[in-house]
Amino acid sequence: MTNTPDAASFRGAVDLSGLASRPAGQPTTTDAAPQQTLPGLIYDGTDQNFTQFIELSNTVPVIVDLWAEWCGPCKQLSPALERAVNDYAGRLVLVKVDVDANPQLAQAFQAQSIPTVVAIIGGRPAPLFVGAIPEQQVRDVFEQVLQIAEQNGVTGSVSVDEAAGAEGDEVASEPEPEPLPPHHQEAYDAIERGDLDGAIAEYRLAIAQNPADDLAVAGLAQVSLLKRLSTVDASQVRDAAASAPKDADAALAVADLDLSGGHVDDAFGRLLDLFATADPATRDLIRTRLVDYFEIVGVTDPRVIKARGRLASLLY
């Protein structure tokens, strides 16, 4: 676990000022455990709507999953979080926060790498763990969250009524997403089944039909990263890179691990440092991998712009 961010660090994204004044361990209420009716147990949290989840945490513990679309371990962890929260049948609520789309919340929770999972209990943030962990460990952590919540008087629950958000209740249901293009949907379905090769094939078909399909290009880069990570032994790869820092295969593998863990600058820096002294064939491998990384992180991301500039200076 990391240090708990103080309440002041949340200001500007959410308002914890009223809740933070309550001494730790003091119950929020002595009344019978409340129940709140909501349209679901899993929500998307944003810089704009997060205050309502802080308020909800006075009734039921709120689990916050800080993730990003390009993060491989996030895609492994999120389904486990969702299954576990659903199995607790209203004793927990899950809020998923895309750190790229919601920088205020990412800063507020001090998310140095992702996935990062935090609980909000009675308005107070409690960091739980960083990185993907097995589902049974997720459930063990949730048991501890419920024990801490009970000690702090947060013993309510949520009942689910899909129509609860129709009249503008406190936590509104998310709008239905737009349908995906056919090959994108097939790729997404393949990922859900664990068929990464099938997803790669679908994205390649989408690109063949429309080379300007930026979403397919990014999707192919993301799934290719997941495919590479699926066969990697992280400790062996890092040991190999440490013993042979000029080994291109080892450097590429470690860069994959860095990127999937949210250490974007480390991944870029490792490959750009190697690129500077590499032979032409190795340079081509590194450049191709970096271009994939740029698509995964987002071509407008400041880290990508900086790395792209350095790559251009090394090329020319």
Enumerate the active-site residues: 71, 74
**CB 217: neighbour CB atoms within 10 A?**
19
3-class SS letters over the chain: CCCCCCHHHHCCCCCCHHHHCCCCCCCCCCCCCCEEEECCCEEECCCCCHHHHHHHCCCCCEEEEEECCCCHHHHHHHHHHHHHHHHCCCCCEEEEEECCCCHHHHHHCCCCCCCEEEEEECCEEEEEEECCCCHHHHHHHHHHHHHHHHHCCCCCEEEECCCCCCCCCCCCCCCCCCCCCHHHHHHHHHHHHCCHHHHHHHHHHHHHHCCCCHHHHHHHHHHHHHHHHCCCCHHHHHHHHHHCCCCHHHHHHHHHHHHHCCCHHHHHHHHHHHHCCCCHHHHHHHHHHHHHHHHHHCCCCHHHHHHHHHHHHHHC
First-to-last CA distance in the chain?
45
